[in-house]
């Protein structure tokens, strides 16, 4: 967790509910089609969300330290997830079950933080989606470098290419012209 997070006391209050998990790179936390039963907080590492389309993995979001990752609709409604959640790097995580989350929902400080974090990620996803409608692949890459340099630094190129909606070869060309 981020050390200067003002909600640190809130996290500590529910220490008995949080379970910890460590996993290596390329570990599936949630498989597409399964029901999401855990909400994760990333203490260390990087995670991606992706789905299969015509046999190809399409990455659409990345998560880093201090962020909350889970399939919200699957978690809340107990339905199959339309995507997978997978580690990119070795990770240290904390997680809550659906049942334990019912307790945290009552916390006036921590629960709004979780909701705000999820809303921020949804807004970022919407901004990314709009780039598909208005920007060229080169512009999408330049926006990524400018606005989300951590992705460029930590995420393998094949996942970045997928995220940008281009092939790895096209990404190499764009980067080469940089």
Reduced to 3 states (helix: H, G, I; strand: E, B; else coil), residue 73 is helix
Would residue 117 count as lying in a domain? no
- The answer to whether residue 16 sits within a structural domain is yes
Residue 148 lies in a domain: no
- Nearest Cα to 45, choosing from 30, 26, 60? 26
CA 88, 94, 97, 103 torsion-angle sign: negative
Give a yes or no: residue 137 inside a domain. no
Band the pLDDT of 9: cuts 50, 70, 90. low
Q: CATH number of the domain at 90, please.
A: 2.60.120.10
Inside any domain, residue 100: yes
Count how many domains the chain has: 1
Mean pLDDT of the chain: 90
Whether 132 is in a domain gets the answer no
Residue 89 has pLDDT above 90, yes or no: yes
Kindly give the pairing relationship between strand 19-23 and strand 38-44: unpaired
Residue 145, in any domain of the structure: no
The pLDDT value recorded for residue 7 is: 58
Is it the case that residue 78 has pLDDT exceeding 50? Answer: yes
- How much is the average pLDDT of 5-24? 80
Classify residue 140: in a domain, yes or no: no
**Which domain does 70 fall in, by range?**
8-107
- Residue owning tokens 């709009």: 130
Confidence check: pLDDT of 178 > 80: no
């Amino acid at each position: 967790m981020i050390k200067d997070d003002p909600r640190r006391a809130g996290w500590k209050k529910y220490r008995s509910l949080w379970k910890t998990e460590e996993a290596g790179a390329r570990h599936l936390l949630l498989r597409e089609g399964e029901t999401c039963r855990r909400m994760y907080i990333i203490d260390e590492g990087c995670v991606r969300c992706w789905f299969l389309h015509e046999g190809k993995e399409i990455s659409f979001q990345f998560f880093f330290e201090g962020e909350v990752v889970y399939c919200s609709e699957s978690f809340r409604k107990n339905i199959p997830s339309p995507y997978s959640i997978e580690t990119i790097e070795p990770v240290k995580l904390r997680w809550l079950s659906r049942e334990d989350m019912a307790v945290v929902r009552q916390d006036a400080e921590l629960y709004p933080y979780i909701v705000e974090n999820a809303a921020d990620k949804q807004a970022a996803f919407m901004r990314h989606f709009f780039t598909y409608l208005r920007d060229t692949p080169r512009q999408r890459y330049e926006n990524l470098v400018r606005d989300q340099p951590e992705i460029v630094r930590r995420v393998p190129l094949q996942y970045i290419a997928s995220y940008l909606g281009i092939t790895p070869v096209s990404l190499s060309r764009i980067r080469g012209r940089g």
